[in-house]
Structure 1
């Protein structure tokens, strides 16, 4: 049985209304944890504060394998974008990109048939500052914007990132939608706002914390992990298969459809936490 996580420091403020939980938009508050810095620390990155590492330990206690889950998700993203690049897609819109951690997405893409065009988007100023320093390659742009405002993101993506919406674009929403409060934002409508304007041949890749069938072997882990996320950051929701499936409305899910990371044949290691992240890739016909 998992031991209960240690109590959280009382001084940690919670920001349930923020997209990037615990983030005010400035990204430099050392007194409370931020999602991007927590995940960065789980990946072994150094651009995190003590409060973020403490929060990561709290989440690991609630969901053993939480840090591995971050790496599994990252591996999945890299496989997906490499496959799409090999298939001829050369434009990528990475929403809620997080702090840079090599290898970078555009490095995974390589040059292929033509230089890739990658637009990284995040609302956390710390993420944007580090990304602007790290990403110097041609064809790469960094945009400081909130992904819940698709009109602004797409306008800036075209202007600064030279995205051509008349050509296929792969939209990547990797482990970010579960930090959006669906009481405030219609997430299915949000994803549709992006994909509706994309050209045929475009793709949507999503990974999302998954609420398994009640009473299943890992259902209690999802409950404990969601409680820890809400305590730590003020947001972070595990959603059902049907809810996550609705985020691909109007698109054709590629085989084998939605699946957990633990079921992925490419996964290097197995952990119960791997059953709690659902992934999918869909194509616009």
Structure 2
């Protein structure tokens, strides 16, 4: 097996002149992260770079063998079961009562249809807190077992969405269920702070976190054009509120405020994906992708090396 060498925060294959790095995107649902990731992947491939588009979900769909695959699958399933399992239904009972028994595939289309079609009327804030913990652990393991080894091989790893995004949404859903006087409210704040520290990307030049912006109304319109509707975790539906435009905008605006705080803490590259009015100008995605390629490897402040 070919061995890789690591010195400080850099990593490359023996004899290679190019360093590996990871690019992870952060921003509201529908902002255009996946489209931007594809454009960055295309441009890097044109330049002859070895590129890997990775996500924890897609990795688990391949059913990886060994303790890493088993552990990450267990964490993913635990996150889903605690997030939705205690949700109260309009007709009585909980959504967990309708879950398939293990070892059912919780990434299968029929399970996703069950979640999307459920008439949720309530949820449990402490169950959502447990889901946050599972999500934090799952992303930490994904970075350790999948992302950083690929970077050490000299590859450019692109994550369409950084794992902190799901944690932020779980945090906001749980916070919506507790009063300010409830001790859990403060504990949730502390847990989010811990997640921001634990999931901080590796130091430059190994990592380039990217925070993308647009108006939430534009993001909503993009989502509806893409899918015909917004997704199950893109509004307050999991805690019993209507799964409508207002619910989507509320969650996305609150999420973006947290992302902005994270962007400051992580020294993210900030980009706007609102297309310019001038027809002759490059699209926002094209301009952003070019800026990302320029930023790769450029020293940035605010990072702690892993």
Same fold, TM-score > 0.5, yes or no: no
TM-score in terms of structure 2 length: 0.34
TM-score, normalization: structure 1?
0.36
Question: Which protein, 1 or 2, shows the higher relative CO under an 8 Å CA cutoff with sep ≥ 6?
Answer: 2
Structure of higher CA gyration radius = 2
